[in-house]
Amino acid sequence: MQITYTNDYRIAVVNEFGEMLKAFSQCDEDRAYAFFLSCLTPAERAEEDQRVAKMEADLAIDAEDAANRRLSADHYSGW
């Protein structure tokens, strides 16, 4: 199960065989993701939740690293 973009600028939820289950306009990303989640088994949903949690943690670390680099650069540049 995955979310993909189609050639006609839509978001599609496809199964493991590549069959489109449902398509959404690109402005409906939230609805597409909600539909995607509703198609998952409980085990798959747990894996997706873990993947999202890891991604959010990685983004938080990246943001903290960027802020620290900026503070360090400001310190050494005399600001």
DSSP-derived secondary structure for the chain: -EEEE-TTSEEEEE-TTS-EEEEEEGGGHHHHHHHHHHHS-HHHHHHHHHHHHHHHHHHHHHHHHHHHHHHHHHHHHT-
Q: In a structure prediction context, what are the per-residue pLDDT tens digits for the chain, which is 79 residues long?
A: 899 998 888 999 999 998 999 999 988 999 999 999 999 999 999 999 999 999 999 999 988 888 888 877 766 665 5
pLDDT recorded at residue 76: 65
pLDDT recorded at residue 22: 94
pLDDT recorded at residue 34: 95
pLDDT recorded at residue 66: 86
Phi, psi of 6 (to 5 degrees): -95, 170
